[in-house]
């Protein structure tokens, strides 16, 4: 079963409030009210974390943390880079969401495939994904200047 099928099954079985947005590989971010998010796999030694931040931010890497290789990120998430969903279906991949995302009514993220995104009610995301919440997002230096 693909990550997309697993995710849609989870959302449907729990009565989640979400919308599927079909597109040609580039999500139509400008016309949506949802907060776009991106996911990155980071690690410290053998501890892996799926970090979820606003699309316009980077993950603030703590001491001893670095980004996982593309190969490891794709292995752990079951998704190719650019389509990683903000859900962990593995016990060895912790999930952390940036606290700033709590202000969003909906979050928008890739659905595990390049042609579909999901706009999901943030309260449903918190209930079903059960991420740890912490301040992990930071504006990139280029944007801050």
Element containing residue 124 per DSSP (H, E): helix 122-129
Per the DSSP assignment, residues forming a β-bridge with 57 are: 139
> For residue 82, what pLDDT is reported?
92
Q: Parse the chain into domains and list their residue ranges.
A: 3-144
> For residue 39, what pLDDT is reported?
97
Considering the entire predicted model, what is its pTM?
A: 0.90
Alpha helices in 18-121 (DSSP H): 70-77
Give the residue from 49, 11, 15 showing the smallest Cα distance to 129: 11
> For residue 46, what pLDDT is reported?
83
The greatest distance separating any two alpha carbons of the chain, rounded to the nearest whole angstrom, comes to 45
Helix-helix angle 3-13:122-129, to 10 degrees: 110
CATH code reported for the domain at 3-144: 3.90.960.10
> For residue 132, what pLDDT is reported?
97
Q: Walk along the chain (145 residues) and give the pLDDT tens digit of each residue.
A: 999 999 999 999 999 989 999 987 555 555 568 999 999 999 998 899 999 999 999 999 988 999 999 999 999 999 999 999 999 999 999 999 999 999 999 999 999 999 999 999 999 999 999 999 999 999 865 554 4
> For residue 144, what pLDDT is reported?
47
Counting Cα atoms < 13 Å in the Cβ hemisphere of 20 gives 13
């Amino acid at each position: 079963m693909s990550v997309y099928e697993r995710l849609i099954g989870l959302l449907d079985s729990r009565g989640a409030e979400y919308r599927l947005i079909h597109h040609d590989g580039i999500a139509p971010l400008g016309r949506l009210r949802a907060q776009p998010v991106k996911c990155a796999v980071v690690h410290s030694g053998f501890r892996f974390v799926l970090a979820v931040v606003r699309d316009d931010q980077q993950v603030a890497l703590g001491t001893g943390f670095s980004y996982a290789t593309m190969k490891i990120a794709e292995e752990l998430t079951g998704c190719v880079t650019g389509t990683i969903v903000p859900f962990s279906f593995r016990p060895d991949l912790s999930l952390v969401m940036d606290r700033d995302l709590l202000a969003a009514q909906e979050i928008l993220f890739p659905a595990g495939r390049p042609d579909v995104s999901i706009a999901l009610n943030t309260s449903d995301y918190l209930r079903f994904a059960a991420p740890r919440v912490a301040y992990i997002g930071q504006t990139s230096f280029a944007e801050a200047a």
